Amino acid sequence: MMKLSTRSSYGLRAALTLALHHGEPPRPAAVLAEGNQIPRRYLEQILNRLRRAELVTASRGPGGGYGLARDPGRITVGDIVRAVEGDLEPVLCAFPELKAQGVCAGEKCFCQGFCQEMERTLTRILDGTTLADLRARALKCREDSTCTCQGMEILSGADSLDSAH
Amino acid sequence: MMKLSTRSSYGLRAALTLALHHGEPPRPAAVLAEGNQIPRRYLEQILNRLRRAELVTASRGPGGGYGLARDPGRITVGDIVRAVEGDLEPVLCAFPELKAQGVCAGEKCFCQGFCQEMERTLTRILDGTTLADLRARALKCREDSTCTCQGMEILSGADSLDSAH
DNA sequence: GGGGATCTTGACAAGAACTGTCGGGATTTG
DNA sequence: CAAATCCCGACAGTTCTTGTCAAGATCCCC
């Protein structure tokens, strides 16, 4: 199990917004912050980490802002979480010192058996889901008239996919 | 996804040690702390939470200490994490405010689809694993001569299951 | 059986380290 | 020069850790 804080959530939301607007001119951090209800200064720090991990690109000056560094289908949620949280070392391990030493190698090992099972399960979901997957879900969610999500601010970004293009 | 810190790890390790020694006289916090390399004072606080959640029992005075409140097969890892961490609210949700409002009800909803999928997967593992399961794994791990775990302090507790009885 | 001495948990609180938040600049672009 | 981003540091809040003291339980000695 990996360390997960609000940073992951914020980073994920910002990145998803960027994915919804992929191909458009760069978006300033202020716009991303307002649309997702995230403190601007805090989001800047997070975007900075994403930039250092080369997941997003930043351009300065008027008309500048952030954009995805590559295709949404080639950025996973795990990439974002890892870039934002830093170490991403497992925290719910019965024996972290064992794992740190690389001591537990056996398949039947207790540490492997339980703690790493959880970690692997998480990793599979995190690394198996791309921003493109999330975008597709968000758009589908928007189509479903019974889903109250569609009134939310963040999903309005999907409009540009229909109209702006 | 739930909040997981070192507290969960510490609590889990202490509880597992207790499970390995289930049926024996109570173990002092100092012994649990030393055997698991956990700061004693800090572990006492954690054990206190486990006691308030009625997962362990505490007795004072000479010969006193902690013991499991019920059978290891009837205590899950989820019980421990919940007792130790407190709220256990999800943290990696793209839209926590949606979830807080209970707004996302649709099956196809983005929030449900991804964030809650992760949460449910975790919960299933956490609540589906008991201390007895972990003990069985630890003992099996000890049998496997290729597993370097068996030299570790915590597994030596399994000795008492063979010899002391 | 009474009085300590000893061993244990329990509660409070203080200090270090990290997280989340914010502002003031420095730097780059147009 | 103006607009926009980045970098540095300050601040509260929380978590992690340790310390101090009080309270309960057992044992021993008289």
**Residues with Cβ < 8 Å from A45, sequence gap 6 or more?**
none
A97 CA to C16 C1' in angstroms comes to 22
- Chain A residues with beta carbon closer than 8 angstroms to that of B122: 1, 118, 121-122
Rounded CA separation B94/A137 (Å): 12
pLDDT category of residue B105 using cuts at 50, 70 and 90: very low
Average pLDDT over every residue of A7-32 = 86
Using the predicted structure, report yes or no on whether residue A162 has a pLDDT greater than 60: no
Residues B137 and A110 sit within 8 Å (Cβ to Cβ)? yes
Which of residues A155 and A26 earns the better pLDDT score?
Answer: A26
Answer whether A27 touches B (CB < 8 Å): no
Query: Which pLDDT belongs to residue B160?
Result: 41
Per-range mean pLDDT, top range of A1-5, B110-114, B126-130: B126-130
The type of residue at A36 is N
pLDDT tens digits, residue range B30-60? 999 888 888 899 999 999 999 999 999 999 9
Average pLDDT over every residue of B63-74 = 94
Structural domains for chain B:
6-89+130-162 (1.10.10.10)
Cα maximum dimension of chain B: 59
Residues B138 and B155 sit within 8 Å (Cβ to Cβ)? yes
- Taking CA–CA distances from A123, the nearest residue in chain B reads B118
For B:119-158, CB contacts with A below 8 A are 121-122, 125-126, 129, 133-134, 137-138, 140-141, 144, 146-149, 152, 154-155
User: In the predicted model, what is the mean pLDDT of chain B?
Assistant: 75
Q: Quick check: B106 and A5 CB within 8 A? A: no
